[in-house]
Structure 1
Amino acid sequence: MANWSDLEFDDIAEWPIHPQLAVILLMVLFIQGFGYWFYLIPEEQRLNSLIQEEQALKVALRVKANKVAALPQLQSQLDELTTRYKMLLQQLPVQKELATMLASVNELGIDNKLTFTSIEWGEKQSEHFLYRLPLNIELTGDFHDIGRFSQAIATLPRIITFTDVTWQRVSQESEILHFRVKANTYQFKPEEAKVEK
């Protein structure tokens, strides 16, 4: 057995085999520890970071794949909404049609044996992306004739709604009703051009 105190590091090549093996083993362990601490640990941390990034990318890819898969259905819904929107726009009168519309309402009243006391446009009111155009109507006639008139208004190609409806008998003994209603139609409000400063 060699005495470790007699061994000098400069003469390591002449040491007995067991001390040489021990020093080599210590050096290997030192190099491995050094490599593990300064190379493998940072690489392991980098690997874990890349795994987390991969998981996040997989989730993002799954979300995007689902969006792409839903795109044809969304496009179909958008096309349907666009078609409905265009149909609704066609039901809103433009400014030049208002006189014709008023004449149509008047004609429907006459066709249903009603007598107009007054029929006139109210003041245009702004509502979100539309203008509301009130049409104040007062007329007299039989209950059933007024009902047929209201039904005929609903079949016009332009949208007209009734609000604030009131009626009363012209007199206690009369079957004739005085009918007052605020009808509304709507106009599309064109988008205002943005003024550049």
Structure 2
Amino acid sequence: MVTKANKPGLDLGRAFQEAAAQFRGLDMNKPGQWPPLPKITAYAVVAVLVVVAGWFLVISDATDTLQAERDREPALKQDYRSKLTQAVNLEELRKQKLQVEEYVTQLEKQLPGKAEMDALLSDINQAGLGRGLQFELFRPGQVAVKEYYAELPISIKVSGRYHDIGAFTADVANLSRIVTLHNLVLTAPSGRDAQAGSGLLAMEATARTYRYLDAAEVAEQRKAAAEAAKKKSGATK
């Protein structure tokens, strides 16, 4: 009678012992001579380390960049809506721009140029003489140059009757060029005129007129502003 031989079972203990034996006595300076199992284990460890390093060095930075872009998304959407509204109303905005430019041009026409300042000063003087006022002082001051215009203060002192002085101030306000009066002081005369009951008053004021800057003056102002900003930046550093 023939009997079948039983197949030997898998001996796990023996397999673990053989695997452990491959890790004993490894020469760390000669990894090429290691048994197969330590080599495979070393390759696996290196691969895991590469993946982890790649995560922290590459993928983590990419994640931070992605989150930063997501944070920018609401602001970009709002900016898009704003620009979309402007694009829809582009024609209306262009019309408003033209209206503003026309208004600015009209205002500039009320500002005399450098060559017209003498004529304007003469107009102010003639406005007072035309009302029968007597000029006791008419002294232009130092020109103050601003960013886009220049300002000329004029110290004046006139004497005359109350209604004539009022008419003079109205004439100055109605000049074709912009002239403003500041620090008005009305005083009654003293001494002989007061005793005579002449009814005269004295008015002291500062008249300020303005002129636009020519191209050379504008360029000089911009250059001075740029140099001042550069010095300020250097001082801050």
> TM-score by structure 1 length?
0.64
Distance 1:60 1:137, change over 3 A: closer
Structure 1 residues 41-96: Cα deviation after superposition (integer angstroms, max 9, x where no partner): xxxxxxxx9xx9xx989877654432211211211111111011111111011111
Query: Secondary structure of the residue that 2:119 maps to in structure 1?
Result: helix
Q: Does 1:192 align with 2:219?
A: yes
Q: Take 2:82 and 2:204, find their aligned partners in 1: how far apart are those partners? A: 57
CA offsets 1:117-146 (integer angstroms, 9 cap, x no match): 121211001233221111111110001000
Going from structure 1 to structure 2, the CA distance change for 1:115 and 1:65 (only over 3 Å counts) comes to same
Instruction: Name the counterpart of 2:84.
Output: 65
* SS of the residue 1:156 aligns to: coil
Using the TM superposition, name which of 71-80 and 138-147 deviates more: 71-80
Residue of structure 1 in register with 2:97 after alignment: 78
**CA distance in 2 between partners of 1:170 and 1:65 (Å):** 68
TM-score w.r.t. length of structure 2: 0.54
Describe the SS at the equivalent of 2:219: coil
Residue 123 in structure 1 maps to residue 147 in structure 2: no
* 1:142 counterpart residue number: 161
Map of 2:226 onto structure 1: none
Q: Secondary structure at the match of 1:82?
A: helix
Residue in 2 aligned with 1:97?
116
Matched residue SS, 2:151: strand
Computed over aligned residues only, the root mean square deviation of the Cα atoms, in angstroms, reads 2.7
Q: C-alpha separation between the residues in 2 aligned to 1:106 and 1:63?
A: 53
SS in 2 for 1:158: coil
Identity percentage over the alignment?
26
Determine if contact 2:127/2:171 at 8 Å carries over to the other structure.
yes
Q: Secondary structure of the equivalent of 1:191?
A: helix
Structure 1 Cα separation of the partners of residues 210 and 97 of structure 2:
24
2: CA distance, partners of 1:147 / 1:136:
18
User: Which letter maps to 2:212?
Assistant: F
- Distance, in Å, in 1 between the alignment partners of 2:79 and 2:134 is 69
Code of the residue aligned with 1:140 in structure 2: it is S
Distance in 2, matches of 1:187 and 1:77, equals 26
Which residue in the other structure is 1:157 paired with? 176
Q: Structure 1 residues 106, 65: CA separation in 2 closer, same or farther (over 3 Å shift)? A: same
